[in-house]
Amino acid sequence: MSPGKVIRLGAVAYLNARPLVFGLDRSPRFAVRFDIPSRCATLLHEGAIDVGLIPSIEYLRGGPYCIVPDLAIASRGKVASVALYTTKPMADVRSVAMDTSSRTSAALVRVLCRRQFKIEPTFELGGPDLEPMLKRCDAALIIGDNALFVDAEQLTVNSRQSTANREGSSVSPQLSTVDCQRSTIEKIDLGEVWTNMTGLPFVYAFWAGRPGALTPDDVETLQRTRDAGVAQSKDIARKYFSQSLERQAIGAEYLRDNVKYYLGDEERAGLELFYRYAADAGVAPAEEPLRFY
C-alpha cells in the first residue's frame, strides 16, 4: 500500500484488544474502527477494511491473507474471558448455546467437545445473555468482557450462598462454581482446557490483511504500539472502565496476567494444531501455511 494512503484498521471492541491499538487514534496513517470479532472478519472478507484484528479461524475462511508477525491475542492457560457456563457435568451436556460474537471461540468449543469432552451436543447460535441461553441449552459459550464480568459479578453476589456448598468439595482447576438463581453453574475456562490438553498456548486473534496492505514501517508501528500498550495495561483498564474501580482492578489484572500479545514459536505451534483439529472436526477448511508480512 502507498505510504501516503490511510490504512483502514478493524479492531475488536473488547478490553483485551486495547493494548494493540494504544495511541493509534493519533496516527494519521491509520483509521481505526471497533466492532465485535466476527464483524471484523466480515469487514475484511468484504474488503471494507484493509487490515483486521480477526478471529484466528477466519484466516482459513478468506484471503489469502498475511499476518502481522509477533502480534496476537493469546493465552497460555487460564484466559478468563472465553468460557463455557454449564448446568451439568460436561459428559452430560447435550446442547450448547454459542455466543455469535467470535467464530474462533465457537470453533474451539466444537474441537474441545470432540477431543476433550468426548460429546456430540447440538449447537444453537445466540446470546450473549447467559440466563436465556441456559434456559434453552445445557451450556453456553460467552466471550470477551461479558465472560470476564459475568464470572466476577456472580461470584461476588453469590459467594456467601455458595461457600457452604463448596466446602469439602473437590473442584477441577478450570472450574469456578457459582450460584445463579436456583441453578448451580460451572464456568469452564477454555484457554485452560486447551493448554491442559495440548501443552500449548491458544491464539484467539491476530492482525491480518491482504498481501501488500502494510509496509515494513507499518508492521513496525503496530509492534511498537503493542509494546507501549502492554506497558500501560493499568492505565488502559482505568480509562476503559472509568466508572468502576472494581472493574478497573479486574481489567488491569486480566491484561497483566491472562492475555498474551506475542505470536512466538509456541503460539504458532498452538495455532497450527488448532487449525488441524478444526479441519478434522469439519469446522474449517484444510489447514493453510501461515504467511506473514
pLDDT in tens, 263-273: 999 999 999 99
108 and 126 inside one domain: yes
Confidence of residue 183 (pLDDT cuts 50, 70, 90): low
The answer to whether residues 61 and 161 belong to one domain is: no
Burial group, residue 179, by CB count within 10 angstroms (0-12, 13-18, 19+): middle
Domain boundary among 167, 198, 229: 198
Residues 6 or more apart whose Cβ sits within 8 Å of residue 212: 1
Domain that holds residue 127: 82-198
Considering the domain architecture, whether residues 55 and 160 belong to the same structural domain is answered as no
Q: What is the strand order of the sheet 122-126 is part of?
A: 122-126, 95-99, 139-143, 82-86, 183-189, 175-180
Residue 188 lies in a domain: yes
Q: How confident is the model at residue 287 (pLDDT cuts 50, 70, 90)?
A: confident
Q: Residue 213's domain is classified under what CATH number? A: 3.40.190.10
Does residue 125 share a domain with residue 107? yes
How do residues 43-87 score in pLDDT, each as one tens digit? 999 999 999 999 999 999 988 999 999 999 999 999 999 999 999
Supply the pLDDT for residue 1: 61
Which amino acid belongs to residue 76? R
Say whether both 88 and 43 belong to one domain: no
Tell me the per-residue pLDDT of 81-130, one tens digit each, with 9 for 90 and over: 999 999 999 999 999 999 888 799 999 999 999 999 999 999 999 778 89
Is 287 within the bounds of a domain? no
pLDDT tens by residue, 147-162: 988 754 453 333 223 3
pLDDT number for residue 2: 62
Residues 164, 247, single domain; the answer is no
Give the total number of structural domains in the chain. Answer: 2
53 and 192 both lie in a single domain: no
228 with 175, same domain? no
Beta carbons of 239 and 23 less than 8 angstroms apart: no
Q: Among residues 179, 198, 217, which one ends one of the domains?
A: 198
Q: Is residue 292 part of a domain?
A: no
> Quick one: which of 158, 144, 111 has its CA closest to 282?
111
Are 45 and 88 within 8 A, CB to CB?
no
pLDDT tier, 177 (very low <50, low <70, confident <90, very high otherwise)? very low
In sequence order, the 6+-apart residues with CB closer than 8 A to the CB of 271 are 56, 203, 263, 290
208 and 126 in a common domain: no
The CA–CA distances, whole Å, from 44 to 47, 200, 201, 271 equal 5, 28, 25, 20
Residue 291 within any structural domain of the chain? no
Domain-embedded: residue 250:
yes
Across the range 220-249, mean pLDDT stands at 96
CA distances from 284 to 75, 108, 130, 141, 244 (A): 21, 11, 26, 19, 40
Residues 33 and 58 in one domain: yes
Last residue of a domain, one of 183, 198, 213: 198
Task: Indicate whether 234 and 248 sit together in one domain.
Answer: yes
**Could you tell me the pLDDT band of residue 257, with boundaries at 50, 70 and 90?**
very high
How far is Cα 43 from Cα 263, in angstroms, rounded to an integer?
Answer: 23
> How far apart are alpha carbons 175 and 274 in whole angstroms?
22
Q: Which of 97-101, 135-139, 176-180 has the highest mean pLDDT?
A: 135-139
Are residue 66 and residue 209 in the same domain, yes or no?
A: yes
